[in-house]
Structure 1
């Protein structure tokens, strides 16, 4: 049995999605990617409620998640640029995720193995730097960065015990299969090609996610006299912390 606590950490542009494996148990966590500088609170109940979602980065305290939304008025995700992981807000979200896991009773978080994700198009450029930044928040952790659609691929390709599913690796004649991944996210949609088990760099791309599509749909409906403002953007904001994304895999050895 693998003794080190493993944490899959997707600090997304709309929500932070976390899966942890510790002592044979799996833990799931989700909260909005909202961050703001903390303020002094006077109400005792508010102070208690905010404590779990408050972290310190370089001597400054930050509210995260719903506390940032309610107490700090944060309404927009911090991750709206490709270099947002260079900000203190990214470190605050990483620390907040670990603090919440500790509150859930996850052990071994002093020296965990952390897997973080990057958009497919930025993987080659951001991988090493993202690992370095994540270690800044968690200096005793082992950190590995992966392209985000690789998570969907591995979830499909590997059995629960971590062994490849043979039928998905080779066909009936023993030839290695190739797979394409389409990972539809809130702000980005990522593409990945695994050709005969090899990651093909030039086919790793990203484009806008479902949020832009919903905005465009709202504009089209508006020209037809239909007001979708109450159901489309608001619904996406509410759903951002509930829906981690949609991933689909296609075999490229046969028509999808």
Structure 2
């Protein structure tokens, strides 16, 4: 299947993708950004209908097989879930496997414009390398994919575009907004007038939701007198507002989240040092899977500025990427000379 624009946000926490369905509506989905080594044998496939086969796919990167998809295990022996947390994550084989998986699950084989995002503080180092690696024809074990062009944009700009929606008057050239994207590993922010990014007041740093999960795991380990390595299940419990199950007990994580607030405050202070006062800003827009965790601290930092957590914050960036890709492709086509 061919599509004009395909957007993928390979985040540290989840991989999100979006494209235009045949009806013109936006089709989107996500799965955990976990890429463990593929099992050498699939027992679930031989269970005579007793065991249900998992919705995963195997991607081969440099002769190594990785398993990706919605049903990839959230836990693993000794915590080896296949998650990669580093500033050069976008150049890793895990990233390539997750990107290829997103395209595979959509059943797209030819993409005119592939739109990807990067944390603000890694854009200048990694954008061109991403374009080079994923432009052209490639096959990571699930079939040949053709990509005519790769576009890379700062991740929070996707949320800015998503937030604008049908409120164009609020996002005019003279309207300033601060977009804060709280991801799994990084927190990024973009200060923009309309859709023009102010480089001096935009930035990012390691310190997203995962540092909170790690802090909670450390506190739990102290109280339980046993190592706690299931960060993915801590993430799930916080997002779904359910107890964390450990050694047969249901544990309320709210007290542990409260004890982790200094970490959040530290990141918000760094952002404040870069952004400065927001006396001219129309609003603060929060996106990303960790938006709800950071919202109280950002509210305390800027109590007089209107703040909103964007709808479906996990998917906000990738839906914005798609809109950016659509607009860019439309501009290119209008500049093309008419065929005789």
* TM interval, short-chain normalised: 0.7 to 0.9
Greater Cα shift, 46-55 or 25-34: 46-55
The alpha-carbon distance between structure 1 residues 241 and 129, as it changes in their structure 2 partners (threshold 3 A), is farther
1:5 alignment partner in structure 2: 4
SS in 1 for 2:9: strand
Greater Cα shift, 241-250 or 29-38: 241-250
Compute the displacement of 1:145 (Å).
0.8
SS in 2 for 1:80: coil
- The structure whose Rg is larger is 2
Q: Which aligned pairs between 1:1-256 and structure 2 lie closer than 5 A?
A: 4-23=3-22, 24-41=24-41, 43=43, 45=45, 49=53, 52-65=56-69, 69=73, 75-102=80-107, 109-135=109-135, 137=138, 138-159=145-166, 165-170=167-172, 176-207=174-205, 208-216=207-215, 233-238=231-236, 245=289, 255-256=305-306
Which one has the bigger helix percentage?
2
TM-score (structure 1 length as normaliser)? 0.73
The alpha-carbon distance between structure 1 residues 46 and 69, as it changes in their structure 2 partners (threshold 3 A), is farther
Q: Distance in 1 between matches of 2:66 and 2:8?
A: 19
1:162 alignment partner in structure 2: none
CA RMSD of aligned residues (A): 4.0
SS in 2 for 1:78: coil
1:43-65 CA-to-partner distances (Å, cap 9, x unmatched) read 47169946851122344432224
More contact order relative to length (CA 8 Å, sep ≥ 6) = 2
1:76-111 CA-to-partner distances (Å, cap 9, x unmatched) read 353311112222222111111111111xxxx5x313
1:145-198 CA-to-partner distances (Å, cap 9, x unmatched) read 111111110101243xxxxx432134xxxx711111111122211110113542
Where do 5+ consecutive residues of structure 2 fail to align? 139-144, 241-286, 307-340
The alpha-carbon distance between structure 1 residues 95 and 214, as it changes in their structure 2 partners (threshold 3 A), is closer
The alpha-carbon distance between structure 1 residues 88 and 215, as it changes in their structure 2 partners (threshold 3 A), is closer
Aligned residue pair count: 237
SS in 1 for 2:19: strand
